Amino acid sequence: MKEILKRRTDLIATLVFVLAIVAMVFLLRKETAQPVVEVTGDGLYNPGTYTSEVTGMKAMTVTVTFSDTAITDIQLEHEETPGIGVPVCESMPAQIIQLQGLGIDAVAGATLTSNAILDGVADCVAQAGGDVEALKAITPTVEQEEDQEMTADVVVIGAGGAGMAAAVTANQEGKTVIVIEKTSQMGGNTALAGGALNAVDDGSETALAHDDSVEFHYQQTFEGGDKQGDPELVRVLVENAWDGVEWLKSLGMEFYDGVFTVTGGMWQRAHKPVEPEGSGFFKTYQAYMDENQGITMQYNTKAKELIVEDGVVVGVTCTGPTGNTITVRANNGVVLATGGFGRNVEMRMAANEETHMWPTLDESIPSTNTPAITGDGIVMAEAVGAQLVQMGNIQLLPLGDPETGSLSGNIEHSVESRIFVNLEGNRFVNEGGRRDEMTLALFEQPETTMFIIMDSDCYPTGDEVNNFNETINDLVAAGRAYKADTLEELAEQIGVPAENLVASVEEYNRHCLGGDLEGQPDEFGRTLFTDAEEKNNGINNPPYYAAARVPTVHHTMGGVKINTETQVLDTQDNPIPGLYAAGEVTGGIHGTNRLGGNALTDTVVFGRIAGTNASAFTK
């Protein structure tokens, strides 16, 4: 700060210094002004320790200690998500202290956590009489490092669910692995998922009780995608799903007992991890790496171009954290696991022109995806001759947060126990149906907005969490959900006609109690209701809850074409030697519409196959 002031003329420096002492600092976190705090000494701050309460994914306490000239310590009390927010909580305070400034970019995929930390420290700076805006102007200076070459048996591009499944599997095959990841942490879209993983078990747990079977899972997946998915790939997905769950369990991952129906899942076959969101996958993969050598994580490194020699993919050229070139070579195979293109507005608009599936996919439609999901791997693969398939098959969900498009704030626990109503308080769609049908119906509703309506069966005390580790009490307090003792009061809070909301709930309850036996099936064709035999059936147990939702881009089903061995195919359907792919970067598995809960199954099943076959590849 002193160096900045010295560069100014004496007159301007004096004026700025005086203004800095007497300026008002406003705390935006609660949109309330802070009183003027004057630095009483000759330094930049009033020495001491100051505390700020902010909100990341959950409430966070930021405590900052100052000398008269520097930030000396930052402590955080938080419950951020392991593998997503926690790494930011560990790294960002040290960055701020080293920089002595606040001009640090939010971490992709953990923006809520990043911004909460920066806001909390800024608040403490203001309390200590410091110049917040001046600190925000201080940004890191990065010197470009020397170019670098690295080699491993298997190279994996992308540290999301599919990439990490491939990396761990390859390591279990006895191979050294380098994982290239353009962000600062593993996770990708899997880290933001609700965690549901579809798999029909071997009959020992739940499949028989719910009349499920691998063949039924195949039928629903294939027909649910309008029969556009490759039948052989669909068969591989469903037949290896339960083995994938058992593999995760063997690595230490824990699941709740029983199964449920995730939105658009069509049947009760989703297994729910104990850890919230997708964090359980990455805690499991990290625990494996902590106990086993041979996997090197290369973060903040962006893959740019696949290296092809004599027709064989042998590695990838990357840009490193400081702008230097990092060349990574594979003794065996390369696995492409970079995800889809849901955050690339230009690419998704062009793809939508193929099918005109959606009214628009421009920037007005948000996305559940992390900012890193921009189609990089698809572009790289096409550049070496890969065939792209079904790029126009793009999935939207009707469950986006109205502000961010994310799935956080979604209060539902399972399909059977909630309904959707529009701004008129009326149901408008089969809430147990396909995701594309639900979202298209939502586009036709006023302001393309709906409310999820449910009772307190899943939230008996209010301290219980949703599928994203958020308590319903916190969501209500933040204005992201609504709570009332009667449906009439709830209708008033969300601004819908009370008589319509009451009628919608009563009709749903009639079916939960076996109303279809009266010869009056649900008008929208819904068949999934809470069981009439259960104690908690229907929406009739106050308090009642509601949360607003909008359409959001969720999954791109098109991408690189692969075969059942996960080999990437060229435009003549021939394998490109040395190149394998898994996860959302691939296309042709899910067809026009992906069943809810099948994406995480996809990452595990095809990630494992890719890791195994890339390990076995020889030039």
CA distance 108 to 98: 21
Examine the fold and report which residue of 552, 568, 600 is the final residue of a domain before the chain moves on.
552
DSSP of 538-553: SS-SSSEEEEEEEEEE
Q: How confident is the model at residue 10 (pLDDT cuts 50, 70, 90)?
A: very low
- Average pLDDT (576-589) is 98
Mean pLDDT calculated for residue range 142-151: 92
- Give the domain CATH number at 294: 3.50.50.60
Q: Is this prediction's pTM over 0.75?
A: yes
Q: Is residue 210 part of a domain?
A: no
Residue 9 belongs to domain spanning: 2-136
534 within domain boundaries: yes
* Nearest to 427, CA basis, from 535, 536, 539: 539
Q: What are phi and psi of 149, to 5 degrees?
A: -120, 140
Residues marked active site are found at: 435
Same-domain check for residues 472 and 529: yes
Tell me: do 184 and 300 sit in the same domain.
Answer: yes
Residues 169 and 26 in one domain: no
Same domain membership, residue 435 and residue 566: no
Confidence of residue 519 (pLDDT cuts 50, 70, 90): low
pLDDT score recorded for residue 242: 96
Beta carbons of 13 and 22 less than 8 angstroms apart: no
Q: What is the pLDDT of residues 440-476, one digit of tens each?
A: 999 999 999 999 999 999 999 999 988 888 899 999 9
**pLDDT mean over 175-189:** 94
In a domain, 35, yes or no: yes
Query: Do 185 and 60 share a domain, yes or no?
Result: no
Helix axis angle, 231-239 to 214-224, nearest 10°: 140
Residue 595 lies in a domain: yes
**How do residues 29-78 score in pLDDT, each as one tens digit?**
333 334 557 777 678 999 999 999 998 877 899 999 999 999 999 999 99
pLDDT of residue 536: 62
Q: What is the CATH number of the domain that holds 116?
A: 3.90.1010
DSSP structure class, residue 602: H
What's the rounded Cα separation, in Å, for the pair 559 and 347?
A: 12
Task: With cut-offs at 50, 70 and 90, classify the pLDDT of residue 85.
Answer: confident
CATH classification of the domain holding 411? 3.90.700.10
365 domain-assigned = no
What tokens appear for 98 in the block? 């080293």
Angstrom distance (rounded) from CA 145 to CA 143? 6
413 and 548 share one domain = yes
Domain end: 136, 156, 177, which one? Answer: 136
Residues 80 and 28 in one domain: yes
Task: Answer with the one of 552, 570, 591 that is the final residue of a domain.
Answer: 552
Instruction: Note the pLDDT of residue 414.
Output: 83
**So what's the pLDDT on residue 263?**
86
Cα distances from 24 to residues 15, 36, 457, in angstroms, run 15, 5, 48
State the pLDDT confidence band at 18, using cuts at 50, 70 and 90: very low
Judgement on whether residues 91 and 154 belong to the same structural domain of the protein: no
Residue 539 and residue 579 in one domain: no
Would residue 522 count as lying in a domain? yes
pLDDT band (50, 70, 90) for residue 413: confident
Measuring CA to CA, how many Å separate 353 from each of 281, 357, 362, 379, 394? 35, 8, 12, 18, 11
Does 347 fall in a domain? no
Other Cβ atoms closer than 10 A to 523: 9
How far CA 338 is from CA of 34, 82, 186, 418, 508, in Å, comes to 44, 21, 11, 34, 42
DSSP β-ladder status, 295-298 and 302-309? unpaired
Most confident of 3-17, 189-203, 491-505: 491-505
What is the H or E stretch that residue 396 is in? Answer: strand 394-400
The answer on 165 and 118 residing in a single domain is no
Please indicate, yes or no, whether residues 513 and 469 belong to a single structural domain of this protein. yes
pLDDT in tens, 89-113: 999 999 999 999 999 988 866 778 8
Which of 606, 597, 556, 585 is closest to 239 using CA atoms?
606
Q: Domain total for the chain? A: 3
Residues 72 and 115 in one domain: yes
Which tens digits make up the pLDDT trace of 126-137? 999 999 999 999
Per-residue model confidence as pLDDT tens digits over 373-408: 999 999 999 999 999 999 999 999 999 999 889 888
Domain presence at residue 75: yes
